[in-house]
DNA sequence: TCTGGGGTCCTAGGACCC
DNA sequence: TCTGGGGTCCTAGGACCC
């Protein structure tokens, strides 16, 4: 029965999905490249005061060092380990070698990270997809991985779905190969903890635990309606299916980028607003550089602020058209910080751009050349930028610079016949705000107009005698 | 001085439009 | 004029993954 579970999910009848996972990847690359580290505990990750472990070699895992553990704790558990901050060039290179091996097996390869990928064997040249055939292929693949990477090892799992292939690759790690024979999936899953299911992390595990659900077998006995009630619609239906090993997610080779961001955690909490603005400005430049490098631009600019007590805030604003300009991203990022109370100290700051388009409206921005590659810059000396006629029909928050009674400002918002201008002052990136009629004929000498704001309505209420 | 960095997806509420 | 529903977009926060 498919009671209340929506559309049928067709699971493959053959173990044609392969999952490959390079063992203790970052640490293994370090041990490969530096023989003195072989056989010794190696920890790769953040080495600063607030760093965390990215990868621990198996020698370090003996001491209880784990991924995502703070480096501080890892040092306490295994003081004699080598603590390294990582050489991502080397990791990327080794990863590329392995990925190209996988693509030689099948064109349909989905990398999950530098050290992990799914391969769809239905698109391979194999004569059939019987267990013996795919097992032989996987064994040969593992041998080739070690050969081309000069000694790295991989764990491989094979199954009828992504879920099962991934579970399989964990079973005989490191340096192992496991094939889950089609038809035996539920038998394998039932005794396992619910956290084996993708998407079930600490929070969901705890919710399920409180409902008396610990194993996949117990999860299977819960109705779809009950699961939706417990964890929400999307996750509830997903759980109902995955508990039955019903997983028809396809292997997807190319994924579109949805957002680009840069963030940093600082060893000591930040309290100086000017410093924070400077850091956001630098991060905005890095984000812009990456957008440009990939030919992307985006409409939504966000900042992320983690306070001293680890509460995390985000603020965002959306432009009417996409940008990849560092000055625009920086200006908006700084102004988003203005509302936030950071007096207790800030441990993390970040800038991101989402709502990406893979093209830029060149014609629309042609005039930005006057102000340099980053678009109009309020700090730049020289003549006022000439305002093009397009400003009369469409205003672009964050991008358009205008001239009005407080000097130069930039468009903060527009709508209902009004354009809001934010003036940048020496004190603040987001200085005073004034609104102007959108059809004002003279752009540079606009007369201030009463903003259509909330404060106007309250005064009317108190003034009425009733 | 517990708790990285770069992502993805989901939820919920409000605005706005039809 | 009142009421409601659905769809879409936006914002903020949270969970999760590697």
Please check whether strand B approaches the CB of A268 to within 7 Å.
yes
A378 assigned to some structural domain: no
Q: How far is the CA of A225 from the C1' of C15 (A)?
A: 21
The catalytic residues of A are 116
Co-location of A343 and A273 in the same domain: yes
Domain stops at, among A357, A377, A392: A357
Co-location of A281 and A206 in the same domain: no
Please check whether strand B approaches the CB of A290 to within 7 Å.
yes
Nucleotide closest to A300 measured between CA and C1' = C10
Average per-residue pLDDT for chain A? 85
Co-location of A348 and A278 in the same domain: yes
Model confidence pLDDT, tens digit, residues A329-385 = 999 999 999 999 999 999 999 999 999 987 655 444 434 433 333 444 444 333 333
Please check whether strand B approaches the CB of A304 to within 7 Å.
no
- Tokens 């890095």 locate to A286
B10 C1' closest Cα residue: A234
Domain stops at, among A301, A330, A357: A357
Task: Look at chain A and count its residues.
Answer: 466
Cβ < 7 Å from strand B, A residues 386-445: 415
Look at residue A101 and tell me whether its pLDDT is greater than 80: yes
A348 assigned to some structural domain: yes
C-beta of residue A208 within 8 angstroms of C-beta of residue A244: no
Structural domain including A230 reads 198-242
Q: Are strands A42-45 and A53-56 parallel, antiparallel or unpaired?
A: antiparallel
Q: How far is the CA of A431 from the C1' of B16 (A)?
A: 29
Please check whether strand C approaches the CB of A449 to within 7 Å.
no
On strand C, nucleotides with any atom < 7 Å from a protein CB are 9-18
Model confidence pLDDT, tens digit, residues A277-315 = 999 999 999 999 999 999 999 999 999 999 999 999 999
Alpha carbon separation from A421 to A367, A393, A400, A441 (Å, rounded):
20, 16, 9, 16
Please check whether strand B approaches the CB of A234 to within 7 Å.
yes
Could you give the residue ranges of the DSSP H alpha helices within A272-413?
Answer: 273-293, 326-337, 362-365
C10 C1' closest Cα residue: A318
Percent of chain A with pLDDT over 70: 76
Per the structure, how many domains does chain A have? 2
Model confidence pLDDT, tens digit, residues A221-246 = 999 999 999 999 999 999 999 999 99
Give rounded-to-5 percent helix, strand, coil for chain A.
35, 25, 40
Co-location of A238 and A285 in the same domain: no
pTM of the model: 0.83
Domain stops at, among A212, A242, A272: A242
């Amino acid at each position: 029965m498919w009671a209340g579970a929506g559309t049928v999910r067709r699971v493959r009848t053959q173990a044609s999905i392969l999952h490959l996972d390079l063992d203790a990847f970052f640490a293994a690359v370090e041990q490969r490249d530096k023989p003195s580290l072989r056989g010794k505990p190696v920890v790769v990750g953040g080495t600063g005061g607030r760093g965390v472990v990215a990868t621990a070699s198996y020698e370090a895992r003996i001491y209880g060092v784990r991924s995502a553990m703070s480096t501080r704790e890892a040092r306490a558990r295994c003081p004699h380990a080598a603590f390294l901050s990582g050489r991502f060039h080397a990791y990327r290179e080794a990863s590329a070698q392995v990925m190209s091996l996988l693509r030689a097996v099948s064109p349909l390869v989905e990398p999950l990270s530098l050290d992990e990928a799914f391969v769809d064997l239905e698109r391979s040249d194999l004569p059939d997809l019987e267990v013996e055939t795919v097992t032989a292929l996987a064994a040969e693949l593992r041998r080739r991985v070690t050969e081309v990477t000069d000694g790295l090892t991989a764990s491989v799992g094979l199954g009828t779905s992504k879920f099962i292939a991934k579970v399989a690759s964990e079973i005989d790690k490191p340096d192992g190969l496991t094939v889950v024979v089609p038809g035996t999936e539920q038998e394998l899953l039932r005794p396992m903890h619910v956290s084996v299911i993708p998407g079930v992390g600490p929070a969901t595990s705890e919710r399920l635990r409180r409902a008396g659900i610990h194993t996949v077998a117990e999860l299977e006995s819960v109705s779809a309606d009950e699961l939706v009630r417990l964890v929400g619609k999307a996750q509830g239906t997903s759980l109902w299916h995955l508990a039955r090993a019903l997983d028809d997610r396809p292997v997807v080779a190319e994924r579109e980028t949805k957002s680009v961001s840069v963030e940093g955690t600082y060893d000591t909490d930040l309290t100086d607003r000017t410093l924070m603005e400077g850091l956001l400005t630098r991060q905005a430049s890095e984000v812009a550089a990456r957008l440009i490098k990939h030919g992307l631009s985006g409409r939504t600019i966000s900042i992320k602020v983690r306070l001293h007590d680890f509460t995390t805030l985000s603020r965002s604003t959306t432009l009417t058209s996409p940008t990849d300009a560092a000055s625009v991203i920086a200006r908006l990022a700084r102004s988003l910080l203005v509302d936030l109370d950071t007096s207790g100290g800030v441990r993390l700051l970040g800038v991101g751009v989402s709502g990406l388009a893979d093209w830029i409206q060149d014609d629309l921005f042609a005039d930005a050349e006057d102000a340099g590659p980053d678009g109009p810059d309020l700090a730049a000396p020289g003549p006022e930028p000439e305002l093009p006629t397009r400003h009369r029909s469409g205003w672009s928050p964050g991008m358009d610079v205008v001239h009005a009674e407080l000097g130069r400002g930039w468009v903060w918002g527009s709508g209902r016949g009004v354009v809001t201008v934010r003036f940048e002052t020496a004190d603040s990136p987001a200085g005073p705000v004034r609104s102007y009629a959108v059809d004002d004929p003279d752009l540079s000498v606009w007369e201030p107009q009463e903003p259509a704001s909330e404060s106007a309505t309250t005064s009317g209420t108190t003034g009425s005698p009733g």
